[in-house]
Every structure is written in structure tokens, then in C-alpha cells.
A and B are shown apart, each in its own frame.
Chain A
Amino acid sequence: MTWSEDQPMVSIKNLHKSFGELEVIKGVSLDVMKGEVICIIGPSGSGKSTIIRCVNALNDIQEGSIMVEGQEVNDPDLDKRELRKKVGMVFQQYNLFPHKTALENIMMAPLLVLKQDKESVEKLARQLVKKVRLEGKEDSYPGELSGGQQQRVAIARSLAMSPDVMLFDEVTAALDPETVNEVLLTIKELAEDGMTCILVTHEMGFAREVADHIYFTDKGVIVEHGSPATFFDDAKDPRTKEFLSQIL
């Protein structure tokens, strides 16, 4: 259980995952170092969401290993809550708690899960609201916010737990084109601050700009990976080429 920062913060080795008879992840491996941003791209149904959902144990794993800071996720005795304190996740559908205000959404987990005192949690929450540029929206309910604003609250809510890794699953896919950029900007700033991020995205320009490494998945396997420059300009695999030609 000794993990040091020169080892990958998240290390996935030969991951296999099936839903019933259907095997959707067929041996995926990837490493993420501390402070790195990796993007997973690929066609719909290729298993991108499934991979990142395995990292915080929202999906169980049939075979292989996922280490998060040296802790095995594929361990029947795993304390999922301890894992999830370290791994934040943001969803495509925001999933804010509709009966709580923006500020309460952000404060809930530090208060109830980490049992921090209310005063410092509120201070942190207000800082985070500022960070995601939502001053003035503290007391709004999710239903009163636009999609982009809700998504930024969701990011702040996750950050309030001070996670070591953040998972983003197509967080701009449900947004209007005008609000996509405000959310991408927030993520970009987060990446620049040194947050370790695993992103699933369809925003190629964004991936190229922020990613240290890009993974391309197709039908449950990683077909190709590399730095943004080699990936976008010098793809080798025909499946990657076809995908990129359709999207760019």
C-alpha cells in the first residue's frame, strides 16, 4: 500500500467488463500520472463511460486491475467510500440534487461525509462558487439554473471533496452550444491548476488543447493512443482515421 507520486495515480491493467453475456470492455490498459489530463474519445457505445465508471467503482469489474493511488479497486474488500473520497465524478446529466440550492449542493458532502465544520465548509463552497464563476447563484435551485451553470455547480460540488482525480463523462454533451465553452473553460483552468483528470469528450479541439494523452476506444478496446499532436495529425489505425475524418 505504498504509493508514491512517481507511480501512476490511476493504473488500469487488462480491464474486462461484461454486462451479463455482453462483454463491453475487452482488455483495456492505461496509466495516468499525477497532474496529467487524459482524454478518452471514440464512437458511441465503445465503452468510454464504462471505463471511467469502473475507476470509482460505480461499475464492478470482471477481470483485470485498477489501482488508484496504489489501492486496488477490483478487491472485494474495497471500501468504496474511501475510494470515492479520492475520486470525483461529473456526469453528462449534471445530477444535481434538485431540492438543495447550489451552495447546499456543494456543501453537503464535505459536511456529511467528511464531517467538516460548517463554517469552513461554507467558506470553501463560496470559494468554489467563485472559481466556477457563479457568484450570485449560491441560493438558486438547480431548476433555476441553465445547463452550463448546473454543470459548473456539479464540478464545484465534486471539487468540494478535494479529490485527487476527477472523472468527466461527456460533461458538455447535454449542453447548448453557447454554454459548452464556459464549462470547458472551467475544466481547462482545473487542468492548469494541476488536477489529475480523466475526460470522456467529443470536443476534439478541447481535447487537443488540454490533454497530455489521448486514448481512442472502439468496441471495448483501445485502438490507438498518443500525444494530441501525433494522435490528431498522424493517426495510424484505420478506425481512428475514419472516426477523425467524420468528426473533424
Chain B
Amino acid sequence: MNKPEYKTDLPVMLPPKAGVNGSFDFNLKPWHGLFLLGICVLTSTAAYTQADPVKAPPFEVLLRWMPLLLKGFMFNLIISVSAMGIGTLVGAALGLGQISLHPWLRKVSWFVTQFFRNSPWLVLLFFAMFLLPFELKIGGYTIPLPDWLKAIIGLSLPVMANVSEIVRGAIASLPSGQWEAAESLAFTRTQVLWRIILPQCVKRMLPPWMNLYSILTMATVLASIVGVSEVMTLTGQALSAEDGRTDLLLPFYSFILFLFFIYCYPIARWTVYLEQKFAVKT
């Protein structure tokens, strides 16, 4: 009867609240953003009062670099949207492959999904960076593959695998009576899937899919490790251009965190809203 209970305050020790795709639930609160903004403002102004008067105040430095940093952040968003788009398309196909009646297609889809879902994102990114050629020759055409494109492909791999699981999971979560009712009305399998099953799955898939997007957005900074000039790379460059002043570290990095917060927070709110809305309806 008495199961051992883990008493801990450390979040990492607690069992994860599994979403549909088994990912961690996303729990941003407004004070997270205020906290980050606070650090950014305080450290960029307060630090200045004791700083060397010869150096420019951190706040000014940050303002000076801000346009570049925002540009870099835009690049992160472009990477995230593109990787999400590609990953969703391919992942949806893969998810449908996982429920195919064709045993081989099913097995291969399952394997590909599991493989990419259980590999660290950074490894997949490196995998794409170093295994893809710098250009593709198709027929007479040469398509260049710049680093940022490879980064998009690399990040779309884990997205693909997670979307595949979201699709498979949503389909499996529908009561089998839906299939039986549809089949006994003589619908073809394709009709059952597209007209009856998938439309019902969309609302089940939306929250985990948006969750995945938030995680992906935050993972775009991994692209800095492979040299894509996104916001982290640019921050690093900005800081070294300022002679590696340590009093700039906190203002800069808390500013970056804040940028991610103001982008991800509305998404997280909306996800929670959708989750609640759909939970009531079905």
C-alpha cells in the first residue's frame, strides 16, 4: 500500500509531467520575465556607478549593440519557424507512416522516429552540419547549402521525430469506436483518417505541438555552437569586441533571456488556454 514517496524540492528530481508527446510541460510565469528584465536593467545601470569612468556605461553599450542583437534574434526566429515547418510536414508524414497498414513502412517510420527522438539535439545538429555537403548538385543545378540552412535541417530532425510521435499518439488516443463506426459506414481507410480521425486529432495535437515549438525556439541557440550567426554568436562577438568586459556579461545575457521570454511567454499562455479549452469540450 505505502509506496515510497520522494520528498524533494528539486524540480529535476520530480517525475516529469508527461504531455502527449512525453515532453516536459512548459511553465513560464510573468515574474520570470520581470526577473530577467530586472537583472538586465539593474546590472547595466547599478554596475556602472562603481565602474571605471573611462569605459562606456554598460547600458549604453547594450543599447549600441541592440540593433545587431535583435537582428540576430530575428534570425533565431527564422530558424525556428523554418525548422518547425519542415519538421512538421515530414513528421506528420512519418507519424502517418507509423500507423500504416504496410508493415515495412510502419517499422521504418517507427525506427526513424525513435532514432531521432532519442538523440540529443546538439548531436543531430552536428550530424547535419558535417554530413551534409556544402552544395548539392541536382541535374545541372547546384544548390548551395549554407550553414544556416544546414542548421535548419539539423534542428528539423528532432522536431520531425517529435511531431511524428504527437501525430501517432493523438490518433491512438481516439476511442476505437470512431474507427469502427466509420468502417461500418463503408468509408475507405483514407476517408476515415482524413475526414474523421485527423480532424478530431488536430485539437489534441495543438498544445503539444506548440510546446514543441517553444522548446525548439530555445534550442535555436545551439546553432551558435556550429557557427551560425544567430543571437548567441553575435552576443559573443559583441562582448569580445568590447574587450571581454565582465560587467557586460549579465546585462547582455539577461537581455537575450528576456527576448526569449517575451517571445515564448505568449505561446505558453496560449497553449495553456487551448489545453483548458479542449479539455472541457471532449
Chain A residues proximal to chain B, CB less than 8 Å: 56, 58, 80-82, 84-85, 87-89, 91, 93, 95-99, 108-109, 112-113, 143, 154, 157-158, 161
Contacts and interface: CB of A to CB of B under 8 A. Distances in A.
A91 B199 contact: no
Given A81-B188, A109-B186, A161-B186, A95 B199 contact: no
Interface stretch (B46-54, B98-106, B156-164, B177-185): B177-185
Interface of B: 175, 177-178, 180-188, 191, 195-196, 199-200, 281-282
A218 to B, nearest CB: 25
Contact of B181 (A91, A99, A143, A161): A91
A109 B185 contact: yes
Contacts of B199: 99
Contacts of A154: 181
17 contacts: A56-B184, A58-B180, A58-B184, A80-B183, A84-B186, A85-B186, A89-B184, A95-B178, A95-B181, A97-B178, A97-B181, A97-B196, A98-B200, A112-B187, A112-B195, A113-B187, A161-B185
Given A98-B282, A99-B199, A112-B191, A84 B184 contact: yes
A145 B199 CA distance: 20
A58 B185 CA distance: 11
A45 B175 CA distance: 21
Given A99-B199, A157-B185, 8 more contacts: A58-B180, A58-B183, A84-B185, A89-B184, A93-B175, A108-B195, A158-B185, A161-B185
B209 to A, nearest CB: 18
Nearest to A158: B185
State the majority secondary structure of interface residues on B.
Answer: helix
Contacts of B175: 93, 95
Closest 3 CB pairs of A and B: A95-B181, A95-B177, A84-B186
A108 B191 CA distance: 10
Nearest to A84: B186
Nearest to B199: A99
A98 B182 CA distance: 12
A181 to B, nearest CB: 24
A84 B282 CA distance: 29
B200 A99 contact: yes
Contacts of A84: 183-186
Nearest to B196: A97
Of the candidates A58, A87, A98, the one having the most CB atoms from chain B within 10 angstroms of its own CB is: A98
A133 B282 CA distance: 26
A91 B195 contact: no
Contact of B186 (A81, A91, A96, A97): A81
B229 to A, nearest CB: 45
A89 B199 CA distance: 23
A108 B180 CA distance: 15
B180 A95 contact: yes
Contact of B184 (A88, A93, A98, A99): A88
A95 to B, nearest CB: 4
B42 to A, nearest CB: 51
Nearest to A112: B191
Nearest to A83: B186
Contact of A91 (B180, B200, B281): B180
A51 to B, nearest CB: 15
Contacts of A58: 180, 183-184
A23 B180 CA distance: 22
Nearest to B185: A109
Nearest to A87: B184
A12 to B, nearest CB: 18
A145 B15 CA distance: 39
A143 B186 CA distance: 24
Nearest to A111: B195
A154 B185 CA distance: 11
A91 B178 contact: no
Contacts of A98: 200, 282
Of the candidates B180, B186, B191, B196, the one having the most CB atoms from chain A within 10 angstroms of its own CB is: B186
Nearest to A113: B186
Contacts of A56: 184
A82 B181 CA distance: 15
Nearest to B182: A97
A84 B183 CA distance: 8
A91 B177 contact: yes
A58 B142 CA distance: 53
B247 to A, nearest CB: 57
B202 to A, nearest CB: 9
A159 B183 CA distance: 15
Contact of B281 (A88, A96, A143): A143
Of the candidates B178, B185, B191, B195, the one having the most CB atoms from chain A within 10 angstroms of its own CB is: B185
Nearest to B203: A99
